[in-house]
Amino acid sequence: MKNLPSRERGAALFVSLIMLALLMIIGATSIDSGVVDARIISNGKLVVDSFQKADAGIGGTISLIGTPSDPFDGDDHTDVLGSADPAMGPVLFIPGLSVNTTLTRKAGSCGHSERASSNRQIGCEFYEITSQHSDASLGVSSTIVQGMRREVIVN
């Protein structure tokens, strides 16, 4: 066995320390990337949850048709679900949910066939339903706007 020159002593140690440092940097980057991915997934879940609650507000408002709390009575209504009967169900009482209805066009022509015998007796009212869910503590908000047509008997 030959003795190594003095200037080459510890070269293996130096190379292994450099390799170890590189592996640590790669590992730290991978962990950071995983944390960011987890945050993205969590935020996506919060947004979808908020959207579903706003969508439930639309469904809950439509379910009020024909009840004493019917918001489609020819007027604009704010906080539609807040004035509903609690017996109507839990979807009407989602925290952070507000639903408004706006009459966009009073009873007018519906576009029925001109030959229909009741053409002049039936009119249409057009409404805009705006459902908004927001949770300030989580920093999410979703708004859904949906149109609705209601046929009414006109005099």
Asked whether 109 and 126 are in contact (CB, 8 A), the reply is no
Distance CA 145, CA 50 (A): 14
Residue 21's pLDDT is 92
Q: Which residue has the tokens 């130096």?
A: 14
**Is pTM beyond 0.75 here?**
no
The 10s digit of each residue's pLDDT in 4-35 is 566 666 778 888 899 999 999 888 888 878 88
CA angle 72, 78, 79 (to 5 degrees): 105
Q: For 27, phi and psi rounded to 5 degrees?
A: -65, -45
Distance CA 18, CA 92 (A): 62
Q: In what order do the strands lie in the sheet with 97-108?
A: 97-108, 122-135, 140-153
The percent of residues above 90 in pLDDT, for the chain, comes to: 12
Which two structure tokens, joined as six digits, stand for 60? 């809950």
Q: Which residue has the tokens 């906080």?
A: 79
5 vs 62: which has the higher pLDDT: 62
The predicted model gives 90-105 an average pLDDT of 78
Domain boundaries, the chain: 7-153
